Structure 1
Amino acid sequence: MQLKGLVGDKVTMVSLLLACTHLVALETGKWLHAYIMKKVIEVDVALGTALVDMYAKCGSIENAEIVFEELAEKDVMTWTALVVGLAMCGQGDEALKYFHEMQISGLKPDAITLVGALVACSHAGLVEEGISYFNSMTKTYGIQPSIEHYGCFVDMLGRAGRIAEAEELIKKMPMTPDHFVLGGLLGACRIHCNLEVAERVAQQLLELYPDNGGSYIILSNIYSLSRKWEEAKRIRELMAERKIKKSPGCSLIEVDGVVHEFIKGDSSHPQSPVIYEMLDDMLSRTKKAGYVSNKSEVLFDMDEEEKETALNLHSEKLALAFGLISTSPGIPIRIVKNLRVCSDCHAAIKLVSKVYNREIIVRNRNRFHQFKNGSCSCRDFW
């Protein structure tokens, strides 16, 4: 379009911003925002909402709030985009503040806004507030809880360690639980090492979704955490027999408009020698600052030295090392991972943010971690 001398309109910009949101392409999104301003394209409710959504879901929540506050008109979707974005970034209190302000402004939350409020409570550990919202959905907001709302409720209880309550809630649901609901409880069982409930939930999941590799992996991991190596091996052998595969963990980082992808132990990058030098420096400096590798995250039966090596080669650590050598001091480093960030990498990245004085934003499947000066926005609750 640009080569042909055509100027995009509001619809073009909304479509492009949506693409940036899905790709977590923040720099391109910022360029589009500048293009909108330069070409004096009217920022109506739809385009304003797309900008808020893009910034929020790319982890630039400050810019999302700035755009939001500058909008002359906001609808339910605009407020919802900010509430959900803040929830994803672990800013539960801030998300609920806007949730309340939305109602004060005269707008009634819809079903998606309520999902955002419940996610905010879940990620911030605000369990009692979340229970109150869920229980008042029908009476206060006239919204019948859907399976998405039940999934958020189960996830919230599970994250807080209230496994028995979460399991009981699933039994009382008026609809058949899906992968999101059961998967949330199974993930909580992994975090809290509840093997008894995990086996029951995994059985349900495998009956409903026999080809989903994630359920096998989580159950195998829980067995490994419990040092039940034979059971863990049996689950992985069952996966092989059924020819079920699971995508490997990978981390993406965008530098100068180019996206670089890393997998565990990756040495395919053209700058691998320099990346591994930085990785060594990173690990050395964080150890001096108090980092001790969490070997419980290694879910295979191997000796302690092998476990530490395996942890050091996680994809997010490689992406972070690349980010440190490829960006100027003071520039935030943004990483996207397709799986949950492990507790060892989480602890290491907190210290990297401190010793290198860098802001580091890591997005996994459904939330952001914003690391600054040795702490994380999730307050170690994720």
Structure 2
Amino acid sequence: MYARFGDLAKARNVFEEMPRRDLVSWNSLISGYSANGHWEEALEIYRDFKMVGLKSDSFTVSNEGLDCFYQMKRDYGIEPRIEHYACVVDLLSRSGQLSKAEKFIGSMPLKPDASIWGALLSACRACGETKIAERVSQHIMELELDDPGYYVLASNVFAALGKWDQVKSIRKSIVARGLKKEPGRSWIEMGNKVFAFGSAEKFSEHYQEIRNFLDELAALMSKEGYAANVQYALHDIEEDEKRDWLCGHSERLAIAFGLLKTDPGTPLQVMKNLRVCRDCHTWTKFTSKLMKREILVRDANRFHLFRDGSCSCGDYW
């Protein structure tokens, strides 16, 4: 519970005070550190776990990475499941080994699902790899999923690469299948009250105050070297409109509101239903440094703890 809320200190205290630690206890602590971006600590805890003599299960082993994947069956007699293959694909993809990841998928004894293709597609977007992205997108379309999220991911990849014909084709497929994209929402709790914000939402009573503050903050950020990465404004519009669109992303509205309504130095905690885009991630790093605030953002993938211009994920998520 504490780890899911981003409070690793309390999570670790509870763990240390336990008179007896079972497999679930170890798994919870390992996954908690991993979800919050503390990879080295997660691996260190995993090594401590192996020393106590408990037998690993499939959940524990997935925290060790590529080496443990190959050790699973050999050393522990555990047959890898689809989520373990997804971890390997994600690991190879994030390290830039996109061709190797694609070949690994082709060698899988299990049929690749959306999580497998989605991990590779996300990396294609980050690396600007269009050829593999087109092949992966086709695999995703062939799965005929009920979840629009992966179709949106494919659309966003091509939008970021400026390939608007592919974007239109995918969006037409989404409409034809009767699927609807979940709108971006972020919320922040203050004074036992939850304040929610939608992307580009202009109907909040606080909207104009927030936008004025964002404009002031943008002027300060530009002096520190921040420039909006408009490739993450996933619409075929003019450059100025793209910058304005990015300012309307829901997490920025929630963070700005928190900065306006809390005392200086107060930590902020923001929740988001979708994955934080890379430009918002950079923006929040600058904000944490300029405003001297600790900002915890929990998106659909993991926790991001921003402090003094850096993030706990190490820009690797």
2:21 maps to 1:74: yes
2:300 maps to 1:300: no
Could you tell me how far apart the structure 2 residues matched to 1:273 and 1:295 are? 22
Alpha carbons 1:213, 1:245 under 8 Å: kept? yes
- State the partner residue of 1:363: 298
- State the partner residue of 1:57: 4
2:247 maps to 1:312: yes
Could you tell me how far apart the structure 2 residues matched to 1:62 and 1:210 are? 40
- State the partner residue of 2:154: 219
Could you tell me how far apart the structure 1 residues matched to 2:244 and 2:209 are? 18
- State the partner residue of 1:253: 188
Following TM superposition, the consecutive aligned residue runs of length 4 or more in structure 1 with deviations greater than 4 angstroms are none
2:166 maps to 1:231: yes
Alpha carbons 1:55, 1:63 under 8 Å: kept? yes
Could you tell me how far apart the structure 1 residues matched to 2:194 and 2:169 are? 38
2:137 match: secondary structure: helix
- State the partner residue of 1:113: 60
TM-score normalized by the length of structure 2: 0.94
- State the partner residue of 1:18: none
> Percent same amino acid among aligned pairs?
42
Alpha carbons 1:185, 1:201 under 8 Å: kept? yes
Could you tell me how far apart the structure 2 residues matched to 1:143 and 1:254 are? 42
Q: Deviations over 1:83-118 (max 9, x none)?
A: 001111111000000001111122222111122x14
1:136 match: secondary structure: helix
Q: Deviations over 1:237-267 (max 9, x none)?
A: 2322332211011112122222222111123
- State the partner residue of 1:175: 110
Could you tell me how far apart the structure 1 residues matched to 2:117 and 2:163 are? 23
Alpha carbons 2:66, 2:91 under 8 Å: kept? no
- Which residue type is aligned with residue 60 of structure 2? T
Taking the TM superposition and a 5 Å limit, the aligned residue runs for 1:34-183 are 54-115=1-62, 117-118=63-64, 130-183=65-118
Could you tell me how far apart the structure 1 residues matched to 2:270 and 2:235 are? 26
- Which residue type is aligned with residue 308 of structure 1? R
Q: Deviations over 1:303-348 (max 9, x none)?
A: 2111111111111100101111222222211111122211111111
2:251 match: secondary structure: helix
Could you tell me how far apart the structure 1 residues matched to 2:111 and 2:154 are? 21
Segment drifting more, 303-312 vs 223-232: 223-232
2:44 match: secondary structure: helix
Alpha carbons 2:125, 2:161 under 8 Å: kept? no
- Is the helix fraction higher in 1 or 2? 1
- State the partner residue of 2:122: 187
Aligned length: 317
Q: Deviations over 1:14-71 (max 9, x none)?
A: xxxxxxxxxxxxxxxxxxxxxxxxxxxxxxxxxxxxxxxx111111112211221222
2:209 match: secondary structure: helix
- Displacement of 1:209: 2.8
Alpha carbons 1:282, 1:321 under 8 Å: kept? no
Taking the TM superposition and a 5 Å limit, the aligned residue runs for 1:332-371 are 332-371=267-306
- State the partner residue of 1:206: 141
- Which residue type is aligned with residue 58 of structure 2? A
2:308 maps to 1:379: no
5+ residue gaps, structure 2? none
Greater relative contact order (CA < 8 Å, ≥ 6 in sequence): 2
Instruction: From the CA coordinates, give the structure whose radius of gyration is larger.
Output: 1
- State the partner residue of 1:26: none
Alpha carbons 2:122, 2:157 under 8 Å: kept? no
TM-score normalized by the length of structure 1: 0.79
Could you tell me how far apart the structure 2 residues matched to 1:253 and 1:282 are? 19
- Displacement of 1:378: 1.6
5+ residue gaps, structure 1? 1-53, 119-129
Alpha carbons 2:226, 2:283 under 8 Å: kept? yes
2:210 maps to 1:275: yes
- Which residue type is aligned with residue 222 of structure 1? V
